[in-house]
Amino acid sequence: MSDVARTLEFLTRLIAFDTTSRNSNLALIDWMEAFLAERGIASRRVFNADGAKANLYALIGPSVEGGIVLSGHTDVVPVDGQPWTSNPWVLTQRGDKLYGRGAADMKSFLALALAHVDEALKANLKRPIILAFSYDEEIGCLGAPSMISEIVRDMPRPAAVIVGEPTSMRVVSAHKGVRSFIVEVTGREAHSSLPDTGVSAIMEALKLMTLVAEMGQQARAISHAHFHPAAPTMTIGRVEGGTAANILARKCSFVWDLRTVEVAEADAIEARFRAAADVLDGEIKQRAPEGGVSITRRSNTAGLALERDSAAEQIARALTGDNETRAVAYAAEAGLFQRAGIPAIICGPGSIEQAHQPDEWIELAQIAEGAAFIRKLIARLSV
């Protein structure tokens, strides 16, 4: 059986698991764990707080330093309301494209890693491959930190991490960091004809949402090489509030995210927003003591800084022959590994342009290119 055919068998199984981030991923983890155990490979789970989800990591080869981590996330984004033309949980081939939720982002990389486990076991590896599969990447890289902490603490020190997000098998050297915030504004209900007798949470929340838009516009003056967009970005992704047109809303909440290259930029923008929220909180409490503003930081994912001479850069470029410098605006788990002291890059099959879309797809050629990449990695670690 060819590498591509075997990878497609694994991809078919992986896509059949509905691992949308709101769901448990344990059925998929059970299957992966059993697959590895059948081959004598011990794996370790790192659970979330309520035990409904888990990361999984495992070492293949000798327990020595200098191995390579193949990192990927098991969760996918929802298909709700999207006009799919085939079942998103069934891998479907049409021509040279494979369709299914996670085909690009990023179960094809997981399939490639698992499909080559037997080849890695047969090889005389001198340094190990470490599989590291996380949960809840899609909602803020929430799962990986606990797994990374264990890998750093308990495993032989890896030389580098390859995070297999879809890059069309090109090397990506940097990504932005992302912070997201849940903002809840509480006012006081009243008849809309008597606005001075209450506090509209929606009207007050608008002041903070306007600030987010203003800061995003002002940030356009900042430019970072290799990034597109080059500036920090701020967006509001969800707004909820109100009960009727003629009632001043008691509650309004919104979620916004902030994507920056540098931590100092993010710190300054967050501080400005929190200062404005504190002022607004005081103003609301003067009119409605039970009201106010609360902010919950939903996520805080570190960016990946460019380290052109790192071990991760060297091995990825040797395996791909790609010497261009690229950066991406989305966040990934590479920055978390880098912050933990392990050099990282992003390189995986498929295109981010197909991610999160209805009829998400990946080209067969990308599977073949990914398989060649893994074979070269196994050969390199066997020298």
Per DSSP, the three-state class of 373 is: helix
Exactly one of 3, 18, 75, 257 is catalytic; name it. Answer: 75
Instruction: List all residues 6 or more positions away from 206 whose beta carbon is below 8 Å from its beta carbon.
Output: none
Which residues are bridge partners to 185 per DSSP?
A: 252, 293
Indicate which residue of 3, 137, 189, 333 is catalytic. 137
Instruction: Report the phi/psi class of residue 102: left, alpha or beta, with left for phi > 0 and alpha for psi in -120 to 50.
Output: left
User: Residue 75 catalytic?
Assistant: yes
Q: Where are the beta strands (DSSP E) in 160-232?
A: 160-163, 174-175, 177-186
Pick from 103, 21, 147, 183: which is nearest to 358 by CA? Answer: 103
Token pair recorded at residue 35: 């697959």
Amino acid at 381: L
CA-to-CA distance for 101 and 83, rounded, in angstroms?
12
Structure tokens at 271: 């501080």
**Contact yes or no for 55/46 (Cβ under 8 A):** yes
Say how many residues make up the chain.
383
Helix/strand number for the chain, H first, E second? 10, 15
Distance CA 11, CA 5 (A): 10
79 CB neighbour count, 10 Å cutoff: 17
| Catalytic sites, residue numbers | 75, 137
